[in-house]
């Protein structure tokens, strides 16, 4: 089509939007809200993912030796462990060091440990951190098989629970987002249908004077795209702005929280929302094609 024909179609689409402003606003609002929810959940789950990963990285595996294990053997085993793949760091903590650590953690209440006298019920241990979170379980298993090791412990419960949380947030976001998107889609579809009905006369005359079907379709395609685009630009802008605000707020009051930086992640999510919005408009039109053919 020629440039002026695009201008003609755009003009027809605009006329239609202006003729049904209430429905246009409803379409834009529902599109914006549903995309915003989707965007917020996407960023939320991305962040929980990062937090989980970073926590997992900090998880150390501790293998406790029985009392009879000699210092020499412990040193040998430490050497073996350090040679494993996926081991970032490994060190032996003697029971004396462990007791020292415990006293430190008890702080002002450390005096309760005085009742132990000179006895130290603790065991020597080997502390290992992994290079990747996924290797933690495997390392624990290997440690367990080593001579002199009585038990192995690592904070698996926290990590598992966080992973569950990520999955939960992701599923909730997807379900909620999908339902809202469906609602937005139906409202856009309805706006286009109403446009078709209210423009029956134009469509009839266009066909009568020899307009091609694509020329009959384009004003409605553009209408769908414009509705989707405006809605998604709102959603995208609000989503990005909210995230930057949250990020700055968190950096100030929760500096230990490893949040994902707004760029490029939030920017990409925002751009994705625009793509989704436009897609929504296109599908909204596609659903109306049959109605258009019957005019």
Partner 1 sequence: MISLRNVTKTYPNGVHALRGVELEVAKGEFTFLVGPSGAGKSTLLRLLFREEVATSGVVMVNGHDVGRIPLRRIPHLRRQIGVVFQDFRLLPQRTVFDNIAFALRVIEASPHDIHKRVEKMLELVGLSDRQRALPAQLSGGEQQRVTLARAMVSRPLVLLADEPTGNLDPANAQEIMRILLEFNRQGTTVIMATHAAQLVDRARQRVVEMEDGAIRRDELSAAYHEGVVR
Q: Is the Cβ–Cβ distance between 64 and 127 less than 8 Å?
A: no
Q: How far is the CB of 19 from partner 1 (least distance, A)?
A: 9
Backbone angle region of 258, left / alpha / beta, with phi > 0 → left and psi within -120 to 50 → alpha? beta
Half-sphere exposure of 61 (CA within 13 A, CB side): 27
- 206-240 CB burial, b ≥16 within 10 A, e <16: beeeebeeebbbbbbbbbbbbbbbbbbbbbbebbb
Q: How far is the CB of 226 from partner 1 (least distance, A)?
A: 20
Q: Which two tokens stand for residue 262?
A: 């707004």
Q: How far is the CB of 1 from partner 1 (least distance, A)?
A: 7
Q: How far is the CB of 295 from partner 1 (least distance, A)?
A: 13
Q: Which two tokens stand for residue 150?
A: 């009585």
Q: Which is nearer to partner 1, 172 or 205 (CB)?
A: 205
Q: Which is nearer to partner 1, 137 or 215 (CB)?
A: 215
Q: Which is nearer to partner 1, 5 or 156 (CB)?
A: 5
Rounded distance, CA 286 to CA 189, Å? 8
Q: Which is nearer to partner 1, 74 or 202 (CB)?
A: 202
How many other CB atoms sit within 10 Å of the CB of residue 78? 16
Q: Which is nearer to partner 1, 119 or 209 (CB)?
A: 209
Q: Which is nearer to partner 1, 210 or 255 (CB)?
A: 210
Q: Which is nearer to partner 1, 71 or 214 (CB)?
A: 214
Nearest by Cα to 185 from 282, 103, 274, 256: 282
Q: How far is the CB of 4 from partner 1 (least distance, A)?
A: 7
Task: Give helix 3-19 / helix 156-198 axis angle, nearest 10°.
Answer: 100
Rounded distance, CA 243 to CA 68, Å? 56
Binding footprint of partner 1 on the chain (CB under 8 A): 1-2, 4-5, 8, 15, 201-202, 204-213, 215
Q: How far is the CB of 187 from partner 1 (least distance, A)?
A: 25
Q: How far is the CB of 178 from partner 1 (least distance, A)?
A: 36
Nearest by Cα to 195 from 55, 20, 5, 14: 20
């Amino acid at each position: 089509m020629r440039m002026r024909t695009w201008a003609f179609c755009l003009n027809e689409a605009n006329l239609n939007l202006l003729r049904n402003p209430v429905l246009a606003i409803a379409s834009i609002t529902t599109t914006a809200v549903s995309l915003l929810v989707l965007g917020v959940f996407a960023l939320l789950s991305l962040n929980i993912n990062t937090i989980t990963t970073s926590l997992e990285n900090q998880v150390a595996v501790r293998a406790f030796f029985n009392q009879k294990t000699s210092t020499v053997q412990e040193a040998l085993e430490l050497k073996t462990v350090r040679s494993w793949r996926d081991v970032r760091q490994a060190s032996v903590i003697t029971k004396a060091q462990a007791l020292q650590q415990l006293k430190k953690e008890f702080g002002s209440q450390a005096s309760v440990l005085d009742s132990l006298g000179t006895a130290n019920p603790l065991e020597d241990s080997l502390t290992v951190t992994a290079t990747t979170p996924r290797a933690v379980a495997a390392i624990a298993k290997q440690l367990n098989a080593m001579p002199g090791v009585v038990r192995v412990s690592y904070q698996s419960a926290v990590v598992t629970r966080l992973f569950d949380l990520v999955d939960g947030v992701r599923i909730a976001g997807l379900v909620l987002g999908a339902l809202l998107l469906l609602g937005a889609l139906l409202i856009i579809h309805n706006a286009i249908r109403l446009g078709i009905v209210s423009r029956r006369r134009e469509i009839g005359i266009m066909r009568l004077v020899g307009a091609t079907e694509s020329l009959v379709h384009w004003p409605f395609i553009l209408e769908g795209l414009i509705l989707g685009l405006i809605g998604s630009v709102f959603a995208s802008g609000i989503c990005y702005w909210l995230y930057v605000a949250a990020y700055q707020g968190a950096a100030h009051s929760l500096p230990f929280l490893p949040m994902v930086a707004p760029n490029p992640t939030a920017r990409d999510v925002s751009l994705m929302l625009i793509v989704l919005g436009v897609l929504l408009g296109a599908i909204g039109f596609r659903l109306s094609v049959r109605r258009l053919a019957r005019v």
